[in-house]
Amino acid sequence: MCAIPLLCGMPDFVLRGSLTEPPEGGWRIRTVPPEAAHLQDDWTAAAVPANNAKDAWWALLTFLADNGVKGSGITENVVRRGKDQWCSGDPRRCRGIHVTFKAPNLPWAKKAWEDANISLADDVASPATVLRNIVGTLTILINGPEGCPRCANHWATHLSLHPVPDSPTLEEARHWLVDMHNLTREGKLPTPYAEVAKKFNWTTP
């Protein structure tokens, strides 16, 4: 008898392309459900990439059960996290898994980005320090209880592709921030730099 029906009837994820090229981060789920937040560090340290996505789900569910965290709600949460992480960004990459993606409601997002733009005012003393603080704050929020695992993965990916400049001028810091905002606003048209500068009273060369 199958121990976890939700998983037993589910086909293994199959990428379009070689299975030697798994989704970014490998066949493993990076974050545990909120009910198991106290186990996150242990999971991060212990988890290893699995052979396929179904095995990755089993690995996390087994780990949680061994630590006393189990139930149908936990199982559904874990499966959803796997779908968010591997499929929602590009549903074409997965076959045999039904995926729907609804843009998350991030109640803090608008204010956080506005505060970030305001903090890069004309009189800022250290653009590099301010920009690092902005990125740190956004990273904490997007990975927090009101964040979104899929969005966190998207954010981390773009940070790796477009790292924070080491010693930016104020103008460079502003351009980097506007570019990152546009890159991570999925499904929305990019906002021109000039429009942002005008809104937040930035002096431009």
Select the more confidently predicted residue: 88 or 29.
Answer: 29
Mean pLDDT of the chain: 77
* CB atoms inside a 10 Å sphere around CB 16: 9
What pTM value is reported for the model? 0.53
Work out the average pLDDT over 41-60.
78
Interior/surface letters 34-70, b for 16+ CB within 10 angstroms, e for the rest: eebeebeeebeeebeebebbbebbbbbbebbeeeebb
- Determine the Cα angle at 24 with ends 22 and 30, to 5°: 105
pLDDT of residue 19: 35
> Which CA distances in Å does 30 have to 84, 90, 111, 153?
11, 18, 27, 9
Among 137, 140, 143, 183, which Cα is nearest to 159's?
A: 183
Q: Is the CA virtual torsion 83, 89, 94, 97 positive or negative?
A: positive
> Which CA distances in Å does 182 have to 27, 107, 119?
29, 18, 18
Contact 99, 23 (CB under 8 A): no
Residue 77: pLDDT band by 50, 70, 90 thresholds? confident
pLDDT of residue 24: 57
pLDDT in tens, 99-140: 444 566 788 989 999 999 999 999 999 999 999 999 999 999
- Ranking 51-55, 73-77, 129-133, 151-155 by mean pLDDT, the lowest is 51-55
Quickly list DSSP for 153-192: HHHHHHHHHSPPPSS--HHHHHHHHHHHHHHHSTTSPPPP
Residue 29: pLDDT band by 50, 70, 90 thresholds? confident
The answer for residues whose C-beta is within 8 angstroms of residue 12's C-beta and 6 or more apart is 52, 53, 54, 55, 96
| Percent of the chain at pLDDT exceeding 90 | 27
Interatomic CA distance for residues 56 and 178, integer angstroms: 36
